[in-house]
A = this chain, B = another copy of it.
Amino acid sequence: MKIYLDCLPCFLKQTIQAGRLVSEDEGLIRNIVNEVAALIPYLPENSTPPEIGEKIHRRIREVTGLNDPYSAVKQQNIEEALHLYPDMKELVRKSSDPLFTAVKIAIAGNIIDFGTGTEFDIASDIHKIIEQEPGINNIEPFKETLKQAESILYLGDNAGESVFDRILIEELKKPVTYVVRGIPVLNDATYEDAVASGLDESAAEIISSGTTAPGTVLPLCSDNFLERFNKADMIISKGQGNYEGLSEVDRPVFFLLKAKCSVIAQDIGVNEGDTVLKGINF
């Protein structure tokens, strides 16, 4: 997804929000905002929003001196999600369409987010979202592609949401490669977060995309990941950051997300707040 005009103020807003989560020093946050503002006139054509996110969070790590500033909130979200795990499994077990229910649970996990400033309460919001009918619902092609697929890449998003991903992965009934970020960026799931979420038991393997951005930005990914990405029969992509990086690729991708900002909602063609199961190139 390209950078829209309305993304520009949002970059500064996200910088402030992300900064306030890790520091109370408004002067320090102001300096990072200044740096991000100074980038705006020089954003390359065809760059995507997570590439700016990459710069924002790199500077936050540098100025706070913390490698993983969101470590504590990530841990808390994983614990809270693990607490909900048995109930979610039960929902799937009782469902007349367990795979679709598991998809909706995975999408519901996407409410865990500190990137967009949306307030959330995992335990109380999750059931509402599961009952919500997706704005775009490509569940039939999803099932059809899954049936044929031998290699499945599952691109994770936030830590905590990763526990909900586990439920879908367990329902896919095929070996799945779960993909995490290359380094801790925002509250996105890293290898350690995926293991803490129990994904080492549910996925066949956990690999890193190598990206340092809060989204799958292909030019920033490792060669190893790109090779897997270009060969996979089915790619399941969670969340806005991955959508922003991959919305125009020529691969069979199914995007599972909640449209938390008006720009992305418009780009996808749904209403803000809608859940989405959208496939491309299937």
Contacts and interface: CB of A to CB of B under 8 A. Distances in A.
Interface of A: 5-6, 8-13, 16, 26, 29-30, 33-35, 37-38, 40-41
B8 A33 contact: yes
CB-CB nearest 7 A-B residue pairs: A37-B40, A9-B12, A34-B41, A9-B13, A9-B9, A37-B37, A8-B12
B6 A16 contact: yes
Among A9, A33, A35, A40, residue most surrounded by chain B Cβ atoms (within 10 Å): A9
A125 B30 CA distance: 37
A9 B5 contact: no
Contact of A33 (B26, B34, B38, B40): B40
Contact of A5 (B8, B11, B29): B29
A34 to B, nearest CB: 4
Contacts of A11: 9
Given A5-B30, A8-B33, A12-B12, 6 more contacts: A5-B16, A5-B26, A9-B12, A12-B40, A33-B40, A37-B41
A30 B37 CA distance: 13
14 contacts: A5-B16, A5-B29, A8-B16, A8-B37, A9-B11, A33-B40, A34-B40, A35-B41, A37-B37, A37-B38, A37-B40, A38-B38, A38-B40, A38-B41
The quantity of this chain's copies bound in the complex is: 2
Contacts of A29: 5
Nearest to A34: B41
Contacts of A38: 37-38, 40-41
Contacts of A6: 16
A33 B38 CA distance: 11
Contacts of A41: 34-35, 37-38
Contact of A16 (B9, B26, B34): B9
A35 B41 CA distance: 7
Nearest to A6: B16
A187 B139 CA distance: 49
Nearest to A29: B5
A272 to B, nearest CB: 15
Contacts of A9: 9-13, 16
Nearest to A15: B9
A16 B239 CA distance: 26
A35 B38 CA distance: 10
A11 B13 CA distance: 11
A38 B33 CA distance: 11
